[in-house]
């Protein structure tokens, strides 16, 4: 792979209860374990950041594919749910659900575009075979 861009970030403190900052300073976040996992919830967490990144990346791939095919993707949206849980081997695992909304397309066309985007999105390619990813096309 020939990199087109490289993002850099650094965390300090106590990992999930610390500080995260991008090298350009645009992101400067307090990190905290979510309340659901016994933490304070007084900051963001890696799962939220992953969900945001995956949703944005997938949405971009979706719009690119749709543009090439002449599909109307105005008012489109992609939401991501990233779940963390025990992997039953003493560690943790992630699962992702992407919710795709393409209100100006019929369900079958929207589903086909979502599946094509899933083949080109870098996050999808990175997680394939490692994380369960579910694509859900809504009819909103």
Task: For residue 132, give both structure tokens.
Answer: 């369960």
Fold of 46-138: GMP Synthetase; Chain A, domain 3 (3.30.300)
Over residues 124-138, mean pLDDT: 96
Of the CA atoms within 13 Å of residue 96, those in its CB half-sphere come to 26
73-120 pLDDT, tens per residue? 999 999 999 999 999 899 999 999 999 999 999 999 999 999 999 999
Judge whether residue 54 has pLDDT over 90. Answer: yes
User: Which segments within the chain are labelled E, that is strand?
Assistant: 9-14, 17-22, 28-30, 77-86, 92-101, 132-138
Q: Which pLDDT value is given to residue 1?
A: 87
73-83 burial string, b = 16+ CB within 10 Å, else e?
A: beebebbbebe
Return the axis-axis angle of helices 46-69 and 107-120, rounded to nearest 10°.
110
CATH architecture under which domain 1-44 falls = Single Sheet (2.20)
Asked if residue 140 has pLDDT above 80, the reply is: no
Cα atoms in the 13 Å half-sphere on the side-chain side of 51 = 17
Which residues are within 8 A (CB) of 127 and not within 5 positions of it... i.e. 6 or more apart? 96, 133
Residue with tokens 């996992």: 37
Spans of all domains in the chain: 1-44, 46-138
Q: Is the pTM of this model over 0.85?
A: yes
Residue from 39, 57, 40, 48 nearest 20 by CA: 48
Q: If we measure between CA atoms, which residue out of 91, 102, 89, 90 comes closest to residue 135?
A: 102
Instruction: For 1-29, write each residue's pLDDT tens digit.
Output: 899 999 999 999 998 999 999 999 999 99
Residue 124: predicted pLDDT: 98
């Amino acid at each position: 792979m020939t990199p087109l861009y490289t993002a850099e970030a650094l965390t300090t403190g106590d990992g999930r209860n610390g500080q995260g900052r991008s090298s350009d300073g645009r992101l400067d976040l307090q990190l905290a374990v979510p309340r659901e996992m016994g933490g304070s919830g007084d900051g963001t967490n890696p799962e939220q950041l992953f969900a945001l990144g995956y949703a944005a990346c997938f949405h971009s791939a979706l719009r690119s594919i749709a543009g090439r095919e002449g599909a109307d993707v105005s008012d489109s949206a992609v939401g991501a749910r990233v779940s963390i849980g025990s992997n039953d081997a003493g560690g943790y695992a992630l699962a992702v659900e992407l919710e795709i909304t393409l209100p100006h397309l019929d369900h079958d066309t929207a589903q086909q575009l979502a599946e094509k985007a899933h083949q080109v999105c870098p996050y999808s390619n990175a997680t394939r075979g490692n994380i369960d990813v579910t694509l859900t096309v809504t009819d909103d």
